[in-house]
Structure 1
């Protein structure tokens, strides 16, 4: 398989899958190094493919136009991250990313794609395992999330619950 065929294969398999695919898995399946996959993904992106790299692997954005998206501003302590994320997924929300405004670098965005309670547990487990600090530590707890929901009622429930818990930053 040449590089052109390999990239078409990668694009095709990502379009078929709902769940992210790890670069290592693609490399093994195609008999190349992970670095080759990283290069192929970069070339596909440059050619216009909307491939997103998440902590769980690569996915192609499937712009679900029927989902409602909203960027919300929240602020809370590091120990409240799990509760915040669970609150959003509990009402059917997907946490697509986390965004902070850094004094030096400007906007910093991390792709999350947290959809389920299992995803929240996995995220918190990795946060603890790597003894990592959340991006919001750089901004005193203030950060943004792009969330998507199926309907206005779900969005309303999420916003109401976050507001009750005093996580939501009001205008």
Structure 2
């Protein structure tokens, strides 16, 4: 299989998959190194393919008929992360990313693609396992999330509860 055929194969796998595909697993399937997969993904992205690298692997977002996408501003302590994420998921939202504004580096964005309670639990487990500091510590708790939902009603309901809990930064 040449490199073009390999990239076509990777693209097809990502289009069909409902879950992230790990780079090392793709490499094993194709008999190449993980670094070759990283390069292939970079080339596919440069060609305009929407491929997202998450901590769980690569994925291509599915086309949705009508979605509402909103960037929301939050401010809270580290211990509230799990609850904040679960409120969004509870109403059917997807947390695409987390964004903080750093005084030296400017905008720092981490891709999350959290869709389920299971994803939230895994995210929290990784924070604890790696003793990782979440990005919000860089800004005293202030951060943004890009949230996607099927309709405006879902967004409205999650905003209501997030405000009640004091997580959202009000206008």
**TM-score, normalisation: structure 1:** 0.97
In structure 2, the partner of 1:106 is 106
Q: How does 1:3-42 map to 2 (within 5 A)?
A: 3-42=3-42
In structure 2, the partner of 1:44 is 44
RMSD: 0.9
- TM-superposed deviation, 1:64: 2.3
Q: Which moved more, 1:106-115 or 1:59-68?
A: 59-68
In structure 2, C-alpha distance between the alignment counterparts of 1:151 and 1:4, rounded to whole Å: 39
- TM-superposed deviation, 1:152: 1.6
In structure 2, C-alpha distance between the alignment counterparts of 1:43 and 1:87, rounded to whole Å: 37
In structure 1, the partner of 2:151 is 151
In structure 1, C-alpha distance between the alignment counterparts of 2:156 and 2:48, rounded to whole Å: 34
Secondary structure of residue in 2 paired with 1:86? helix
- TM-superposed deviation, 1:65: 4.3
In structure 2, C-alpha distance between the alignment counterparts of 1:17 and 1:136, rounded to whole Å: 31
Secondary structure of residue in 2 paired with 1:110? strand
In structure 2, C-alpha distance between the alignment counterparts of 1:59 and 1:21, rounded to whole Å: 6
Stretches of 4+ aligned residues off by more than 2 angstroms: 61-65
Secondary structure of residue in 2 paired with 1:118? helix
In structure 2, C-alpha distance between the alignment counterparts of 1:63 and 1:107, rounded to whole Å: 27
In structure 1, the partner of 2:89 is 89
Q: How many residues align?
A: 171
Secondary structure of residue in 2 paired with 1:144? strand
Extract unaligned runs of 5+ from structure 1.
none
- TM-superposed deviation, 1:85: 0.5
**TM-score, normalisation: structure 2:** 0.97
- TM-superposed deviation, 1:159: 0.2
In structure 1, C-alpha distance between the alignment counterparts of 2:127 and 2:81, rounded to whole Å: 10
In structure 2, C-alpha distance between the alignment counterparts of 1:114 and 1:155, rounded to whole Å: 16
